[in-house]
Structure 1
Amino acid sequence: MRWSAVLCILTACGLLLAQQVRKQKPPHKEQPLTLKKEVKIRVVLKDTTRIVGVVEAGKFVVETAYGVLEVPPSEMRRVVVGKKADKELVERLAVLVRELGSDDFARRRKAKKELKELGAVAITDLKRALQSNDAETRKTATELLAELEKQFSPDEVVPDEDIIETARFTIVGNLRFETFTLKTRYGILRMPKKDITRIEFLVGEESVRVVELRGNFAGTTMVDTGIELPVGAEVEVTATGKMTSHQGISFGPAGLSSDIMPVSWMRGPLRGEPFGALLGRIGRGGRIFKIGARHKFKAKTSGRLFLSFNAKPQFGPYRGSFKVKIRVKK
Structure 2
Amino acid sequence: MQENSSIKQDAVMKKKKQLRSQRSIDITGFTFIAPWLIGFLGFIVGPMIASLYFSFTNYDLLSAPSWIGFENYITMFTEDARFIQALKVTFIFVFGSVPLKLAFALFVAMLFNTRRKGVGLYRTLYYVPSILGGSVAVAVVWRELFGREGALNDVLAIFGIEGTSWVTSPDFALSTLILLVVWQFGSPMLIFLAGLKAIPNELYEAAAVDGASPFLQFIKITLPMLSPVIFFNLVMQTIQGFMAFTQSFLITNGGPMDRTLFYAVYLYEKAFAHFDMGYASALAWILLLICALFTALIFKSAQSWVYYESEGGK
TM-score bracket for the superposition, by shorter chain length: under 0.3
Q: Which has the higher contact order (CA 8 A, sep 6+)?
A: 2
Larger radius of gyration: 1
Structure 2-normalised TM-score?
0.26
More helix by share: 2
